[in-house]
Structure 1
Amino acid sequence: MTCFITQPIHPRAVRFLHEQGIQTRFASQPTMEAVIAEVGDAEAVITRDLGFSADAIAAAPCLRIIACHGSGTNRIAVAAAARRGIPVTRAVNANSRSVAEMTIALMLAAARKICAADTAVRQGNWDFRYEGPGIELHGRTLALLGFGAIARHVAQIAGAGLGMKVMAWSPSVPEDVFAAHGAGRVEDIGDLLRQADVLSLHRPGDASGRPLLDRHHLSLLKPNTLIVNTSRGSAIDTQALRDLLVVGDLKAAALDVLPQEPPAPDEPALSAPSLILTPHIGATTEEALVRMAMMCVHQIIDCLAGRKPAHVISPPA
């Protein structure tokens, strides 16, 4: 049996597959074109943020399972897989702590202008320290758009560690969960945005591709708000975000994700001031990479042995 892997995963998981008698093949390039051409007769696939398209599924006649190396399956053709009876699995909560810590890191970097300060020192501009102060996060309101596992970790770190007031919006989370994690529940998304000093996004993407935060929603934020996005690049209208940063209607933003990855040369975020960009590395810690990869391979082994994997997602209605 063969497992086809679209992008590098932790070598510990590759060794474990080999020990279980499962061969591995890697895509020659992290592109869907290469995946479609090379997936061949693989019985299993592990994919990261590249996803796995309907055409890739059609190109894999022996495919029995698609394992997502993470929690977001919006780039996998789940419905097409379901029509073939192919389960799609997730690495549930395997990276939540690492992404939460990345969220806090970006929040602090934006608040204290860390990246711009580093550049200034390297360019000999020691007077940067007089060019507009940063902001202290203690006592500020952190607004969490979504309240899943990652957001709950963020709430704990920001509340207990930084002394922030944490508010959250999520229509699918029970009332008692907010209180248990130190967050106040806000019923209306507009009310949440108006209260935010720092806004952090933690909602999954949907099939429509429409941004959750469009120009109207961004206009509800206070002028000195910081925005952090470690969830999905499609969650924010980046052109609208750039426009608000240019005129100073937002303090700063930090994005670990973009609508297209890698970004196109004309991506608006690339020319936005007061914006920190990182290349989708929220889950890229040694610990999270091991957990995600091992969760993938255990679910593949279960499937190929005729057992139901632990974290199969349901196809969309």
Structure 2
Amino acid sequence: MTAESAGLVYVAEPVHPDALDLIRTRGPLAVGFGPEATTFDAVRDRVAGVLVRTGTINAAMIESAPRLRVIARHGVGTDSIDVAAAARRGVRVLITPEANAVSVAEHTIGLLIAAARRFPECQAAVRGGTFHERDHLVGTELAGRTLGVLGLGRIGRRVASVAAALEMRVRAYDPFLPDGAEMPPGVERTSTLAGLLEGAHACTTHVPLTPDTRGLIGGAELDLLAPGAVLVNTARGGIVDEAALADRLTSGRLSGAGIDVFTAEPPHDSPLLGVGNAVLTPHCAAHTGESLRRMSVHAAEGIVTVLAGRVPEGVAQSVTPA
């Protein structure tokens, strides 16, 4: 069955042109952005596939599209897609797990270094004319320090390996990792979250946002870290209690944080906005030219594969409800 006979593909948000070209070679396309934007409701009776970046695909949308067979996420997280509703309808939900690992891992290490070396405050000193009043801007070397990596998937493993190359002592905790799973060289596995955090000089998060991980890092968990520790979050905002983190940063209990994701986005009311020792980026860890193209094309390939009656492998993987 061709994509054309199965229905059209609805692209909800801007993606790389190569992805659009790929879909167009297989069948009709409707886009939800640009000067000729089409709403989902306008084409729902014809929609067979959806490609989405950050937008929401809820149960009502899924149930209103009788020909829908596949939803492909431009990225990894599926918290904006009702996976259970898709499963009830027999609709595949795809992610692109290999596409952004390099970019997010590099961004994570960048935030870690920026927070440890107090880049925001250093830049403010240069821009604010206090260049020579820098004696108080004392950073921390990462070599010899302990890093806790929460979640040891593709991104977490890459972060752990780079941190080990920086001569950090690396611990990792992942409750979903099978017993006996091979660890990256130089990485110690811990059996509990407390064991990961206790006395660590830095922690970085790489787990999905689920009911079990929402609020996983709160005040009690932050207080397990070593005094002056750094926290980095490039996973999902709801995993970390922003108020508790802002309190520890303001009091000096923690020396810095690198945050790319927020509980509400844009984070208009986040307490982290007023904290000078937090490095804040706008959910852009995966935003490199290379990663954006890979995510777009891999998602498009997954859609085309499903609509052709095949099972996607490699570039796109199916998600099942928890």
2:177 and 2:75 mapped to 1: Cα distance? 21
1:177 and 1:54 mapped to 2: Cα distance? 36
- The equivalent residue for 2:48 is 43
Q: Is the 8 A contact 2:202 2:225 kept in 1?
A: no
Equivalent runs, 1:295-306 vs 2, <5 Å: 295-306=298-309
Which one-letter code corresponds to 2:195 in the other structure?
D
Cα shift readout 1:226-273 (whole Å, capped 9, x = no counterpart): 00001111110101111111111111111111111112x322222223
Q: 1:209 to 1:143 in 2, by over 3 A?
A: closer
Identity rate, percent: 39
**TM-score in terms of structure 1 length:** 0.91
Q: 1:166 to 1:209 in 2, by over 3 A?
A: closer
Q: Name the SS for the 1:179 alignment partner.
A: coil
- The equivalent residue for 1:173 is 177
Q: 1:287 to 1:127 in 2, by over 3 A?
A: same
Equivalent runs, 1:161-310 vs 2, <5 Å: 162-174=166-178, 176-207=180-211, 210-263=214-267, 265-310=268-313
Q: Is the 8 A contact 1:152 1:181 kept in 2?
A: no
Q: Name the SS for the 1:97 alignment partner.
A: helix
Q: 1:298 to 1:286 in 2, by over 3 A?
A: same
- The equivalent residue for 2:11 is 5
Residue 78 of structure 2 corresponds to residue 64 of structure 1: no
Bigger CA drift: 98-107 or 270-279? 270-279
2:195 and 2:287 mapped to 1: Cα distance? 33
Q: 1:205 to 1:181 in 2, by over 3 A?
A: farther
Q: 1:174 to 1:182 in 2, by over 3 A?
A: farther
Q: 1:36 to 1:239 in 2, by over 3 A?
A: farther
Residue 101 of structure 2 corresponds to residue 96 of structure 1: yes
**Which runs of no fewer than 5 residues in structure 2 stay unpaired?**
1-6
CA shift, 1:22, in A, is 3.4
**Which runs of no fewer than 5 residues in structure 1 stay unpaired?**
none
Q: Is the 8 A contact 1:18 1:24 kept in 2?
A: no
2:182 and 2:228 mapped to 1: Cα distance? 26
Residue 78 of structure 2 corresponds to residue 73 of structure 1: yes
1:178 and 1:275 mapped to 2: Cα distance? 34
Q: Is the 8 A contact 1:88 1:312 kept in 2?
A: yes
1:168 and 1:178 mapped to 2: Cα distance? 12
1:193 and 1:35 mapped to 2: Cα distance? 46
Which one-letter code corresponds to 2:266 in the other structure?
P
Is the helix fraction higher in 1 or 2?
A: 1
Task: Kindly tell me the number of residue pairs found equivalent between the two proteins.
Answer: 310
Which one-letter code corresponds to 2:83 in the other structure?
V
Q: 1:208 to 1:57 in 2, by over 3 A?
A: farther
- The equivalent residue for 1:25 is 31
- The equivalent residue for 2:111 is 106
Q: 1:225 to 1:297 in 2, by over 3 A?
A: same
Cα shift readout 1:266-292 (whole Å, capped 9, x = no counterpart): 222222231111111111111111211
Bigger CA drift: 178-187 or 232-241? 178-187
2:9 and 2:98 mapped to 1: Cα distance? 23
Q: 1:111 to 1:304 in 2, by over 3 A?
A: same
Q: Is the 8 A contact 1:214 1:240 kept in 2?
A: yes
2:200 and 2:280 mapped to 1: Cα distance? 21
CA shift, 1:129, in A, is 2.4
1:208 and 1:146 mapped to 2: Cα distance? 13
Which one-letter code corresponds to 1:227 in the other structure?
L
1:205 and 1:113 mapped to 2: Cα distance? 28
2:65 and 2:141 mapped to 1: Cα distance? 53
Q: 1:38 to 1:181 in 2, by over 3 A?
A: farther
**TM-score in terms of structure 2 length:** 0.90
